[in-house]
Amino acid sequence: MENIGQRIKQLRKMLGLSQREFAEKIGKSLNAVQKWESGDRIPSEPALKLIAKEFNVNEEWLKTGEGEMFAGVPQLQTSMHFQKSFKEYFQVSFYDIYASAGNGVEAIESEPKPIQIDRLFAQAILGISSGNGLFMIQAYGDSMYPTIKPGDYLIGKFYEYENFLLEGSIYVFRIGNELFVKRFKKDRKGNKLIFKSDNPEYNDIEITEDQQAEIKIIGRILVNLSKL
C-alpha cells in the first residue's frame, strides 16, 4: 500500500528534483526528506502544509492518496512548468555563516537558504557546468588575501559530489567547531593533508594520517563572486 513517503518521492521525481533540491525548496534537511521517502519518519502536519503550498499540491492527496495530485491545475501542465523552471536555474544553498580565511571561525549549524542562479549566467560567466551540490558561504579573515578578501561570497560544490581533493584548489573544511578556507597541496613525502594560505603571514595547516578523522571536507570553491 502506498504511503506518504512514497507519494512525496513520486512528487519529487515528477518535478525533476533531487532529494537535496526538494529539501531546500521547503527549508528542510536532506536527512528529513530521505527518512520520509524511506518510511523511517512520517512528515509532520506543518511539513505537509509546506510541501502542499510550495508545489501547489493537493494536501488531501499527499496525506491519503485520494484526489488529484495538484490543486486546481492540470497535472501535466504543472509538471512541465516546474521542470522548465528548474532547468533554467541552478539551485544554490546559502549558509548564513562565515568560513575563515584566517585562523578559524566557529562553525554554526544552520538551515540553508535556497538561492536560484540563472543557468546560462552560471555556465557562461561563472564557469559552473552543473547545478548539482552547490553551496554559498561568506569568507572571513585575510589568510587567503589577495585571492579572497573578508566578506567575499564564495560558491562551491559539496565534497560528496566529487569525493576527491584536487591539488591547487581551494576548499572549505571543518576541524572541530571551526571552519576554514584554504588551498590544498599534496604531501610529496607522506600521507599528510596540507592546506596553505595564500597570505604568507599565515602558517600551513597540516593534518597527519592519524588526525584525518578529525577533519571534514565541506567542498571545493568554484568561484569568488566578488571577483566578477
Does 183 reside within a domain?
A: yes
Q: What is the pLDDT of residue 195?
A: 96
Residue 27's domain is classified under what CATH number? 1.10.260.40
One domain, residues 102 and 192: yes
One domain, residues 69 and 141: no
Name the residue range of residue 94's domain.
Answer: 89-227
One domain, residues 209 and 120: yes
One domain, residues 20 and 126: no
| CA-wise closest residue to 37 among 14, 55, 17, 19 | 19
CB count in 10 Å sphere of residue 94: 18
**Structural domain count of the chain:** 2
Does 29 reside within a domain?
A: yes
One domain, residues 68 and 161: no
Q: What is the pLDDT of residue 47?
A: 92
Q: What is the pLDDT of residue 79?
A: 44
Decide if 184 contacts 173 (C-beta within 8 A).
no
Decide if 83 contacts 72 (C-beta within 8 A).
no
Q: What is the pLDDT of residue 198?
A: 95
Give the Å distances, CA to CA, from 18 to 10, 82, 112, 219, 225.
Answer: 12, 13, 16, 18, 25
Grid cell locating 6: 512514497
One domain, residues 114 and 213: yes
Q: What is the pLDDT of residue 227?
A: 64
pLDDT tens sequence for the chain (228 residues)? 468 999 998 888 767 678 888 888 888 999 999 999 999 999 999 999 989 888 778 888 899 988 777 664 434 344 444 444 455 788 888 887 765 555 555 555 566 788 888 888 888 778 887 777 899 988 888 899 999 998 899 999 988 877 788 889 999 998 887 889 999 998 887 789 999 999 999 999 999 988 888 899 999 999 998 866
Cis before 146? omega within 30: yes
One domain, residues 107 and 159: yes
Does 84 reside within a domain?
A: no
CB count in 10 Å sphere of residue 186: 12
